[in-house]
Structure 1
Amino acid sequence: MNERAASAADTQNDAAGSELASALVIGEALVDLLPGDEHSPEGRALPGGSPMNVAVGLARLGHRSQLAARLADDELGGLVITHLAESGVELVDGALDGERTSTASATLDEHGSASYEFDLDFSLPTPDLTRVDVLHTGSIGAVVDPGGAVVRAVFEEARDRGGILTSYDPNVRAAIMGEREAVVERVEALVALSHVVKLSDEDAAWLYPQLSPSDVLLRLTELGARLALMTRGGDGALARTAEREFTVPAPAVRVVDTVGAGDAFMSGLLHAVSTPNIRRVILGGAHGSTFDDSWVDAALATAAQSAAVTVARAGANPPWPEELDRA
C-alpha cells in the first residue's frame, strides 16, 4: 500500500461511525489494453472496468470500498490486484476464482475518446451486505448473465434490508450487451431498484432514442430513481429529482483522454451524497426532507470536478482528496 492509500486508510479508520460511508461496488474488473503512443510505443496494460474504477475512486476519497468482481490468479489479474491495493480497495471473498482476467482492448479517436473490444468473464461473486451504506453497480456485469442475475439479486436484497443507498450507471456497451429491447428491460429493472442513477448522453440516445435528455431523466425518476443524472461531456451534466431539474457546466480543462471520466464523475457524486444526512434525504427517511438546491448543486459540482481531474491525465485515474480539493 502506498503513502496515499495508507493516508486514505487512516481517514477511513478515523471516520468509522461518522460521515464517510462504507461502499460496496459489484461488477466487472478488467485490464484495458491501450494502443501505443510516443511515450509507450508497445502499448499499455492498465487496470480498468467501470465498476472497479468507481470502487477505486471511492477508496481514494477515504471510504471503505469493497469490490465484488471476478479475477484470475494470472499476470493480468496481478495488475488489477496491485492497483486495487495501492488505492485501498478490498476484494470480497470469491473474487479470485475466475478462469481468466477480463480485458478490454481500447482504440482512441482523434479527440481522445475510447471504444473497446471485450474479452470478459461474465461471472461475479455474491457479496455480503453487512455494514454496507452504499451499493453501486454498472456496465456490462450488471446486465449480462450470469453476473447480471447476481447483481439483481443483491440489489433486491438491499431493497429488502432497507437503509442502503443504491446507485447504478448503465454505461452501455451496445456491441456486447445484447438486443436493445432486452437490455432496456434489464436496465429499467435496475433503475427501479436504485436511488441514484447516472448515465451518459450516449447511453440515453441508445436506450431512449425517441426522448429528449430532460424526458430521459424524467423517465428514470418515474421508474423510481430519487436522483437521476446525465453527463454530456464538454456540455456539463443535467440532473433531476421528481420536483425539478438541475444543470452544472463542465470545468475548463485540457483533455488528455476520456477513459474513466464517467466513473470518476460517479465516484465523486457518491462521495458527495453519501453523508448520513443526505443519505437519509435520498432514502426518504428524514422527516420533512426535501431536495434543495444547495446539496444537489454541490454534489454535481464535486462530481464534475472529479471527472475534470481524470480527463486531464491518461487512463482511468480518479482523484485523491488533495487533488479534488485543489480542483
Structure 2
Amino acid sequence: MKITVLGSGGWGTALALLLLENGNDVTLWSYHQAESDTLRTTHENPLLKGVVIPEEMKFTCDLAAVKGCGLVVMATPSFAVRSTAAQVKDLLDPGTIVVSVSKGIEKDSSLRLSQVIQAEIGDKCPVVVLSGPSHAEEVGRHIPTGVVAAADDPKIAEQVQDLFMNQRFRVYTSDDKIGTEICAALKNIIALCAGCCDGMGCGDNTKALLMTRGLAEMARLGVALGGKKETFTGLAGVGDLIVTCCSMHSRNRRCGILIGQGKPVQEAVKEIGAVVEGYYAAANARTLAQKVGVEMPIAQAAYEVLYEGRDVHGVVADLMTRSKRSEHDESWER
C-alpha cells in the first residue's frame, strides 16, 4: 500500500520504518527541508540514534505526497495537527484512512485530536487513533510493543491492525476513540508529575500513589466525555501511563525531574529540546475538566506549578492533606 507519514520526529520515523518493513511504499514528510535533507543523506534520525533508515524510504516536504495513498499517518506535534489537516484536506483521496498518532487536546477548542482532524477534512476519510505504551526509541530498535487502534468502524480498525501488526508490534482493536485519546493526552500530565516526584527525591511509594490516583482522574474525565471505563485499564490507559511515568525515554518525565530539582518551568521545557506535550495538556485538560464539571486535583496541581509558579513541595502537601474519602465508593465526579 502507498502510505505517507506526516511528521518526521522520532515517533513518525519509527512508524514509517515499521510500515516500510511490512512491505508498504512509504514516504516520510518533514515540515522543514533541512530535516528532510538530513534524513535523506544520513539515513538516520537524530532522535533515533543508531537506527538505520533503509534506502527504500522516500522523503519529501511536499504535502501532495498524500495523493493516492491508502493510509496517511498524522504524526505532527499536537499544536500542528489542525493546520496540517487543513492543508491536506483537498489532497486526500476519498476513503483514505487517516491514523492519528499525536497525543494531546487542542488548546482553544478542547477537542480531541481526531476531532480536530475530522473538523478539517469532514467525512471524506475515516480517522483512526493509534496509541499505547510505545516509545519511538524502542519501536525503532524492534523491541516488542503493543498498542491499540481505535475506530468507530471495527472493519477500519482491523485494516489498520493488519497494516501495522507484525512479530514485534502487536495491535489490538477498540471502538473507544474517546477513551483512547483522553488516555494519550492525560498520561503526559501524570508523567510530568511523576518526574517532579523523582526530582524532589520522593520514593516508589509516592510514584505508585501518584500513578494510581492519576489514572482515576484520567478515567473520571474520560467516562464523563463518553469513553469506556475499561479502556483506562488497558494498553492505552494504564499501559501507557506506566511506560511514560517510569522511563527516561519520556520527555515529560525528564522535564518533571528538572522542575522537581528546582529549575524554572520554562527553562526545564527548553532544556528537553523537544515538545513536552504534558505542559500543554495540563492547561487544556483543566479547561476540559471545568467544562464537564469533573474534579482532577492532580491535574489542577500540575497546572498551578506549570502556569502559576507554585512550588512543587507545596502542592504535594496540599494533595496529601485533602479531605478523607473512600477509594472505591467515590463517585465519578469526585
Q: Aligning the two structures, in what range does the TM-score lie when normalised by the shorter sequence?
A: 0.3 to 0.5
Larger radius of gyration: 2
**Structure of greater relative contact order (alpha carbons < 8 Å, 6+ residues apart):** 1
Higher helix share: 2
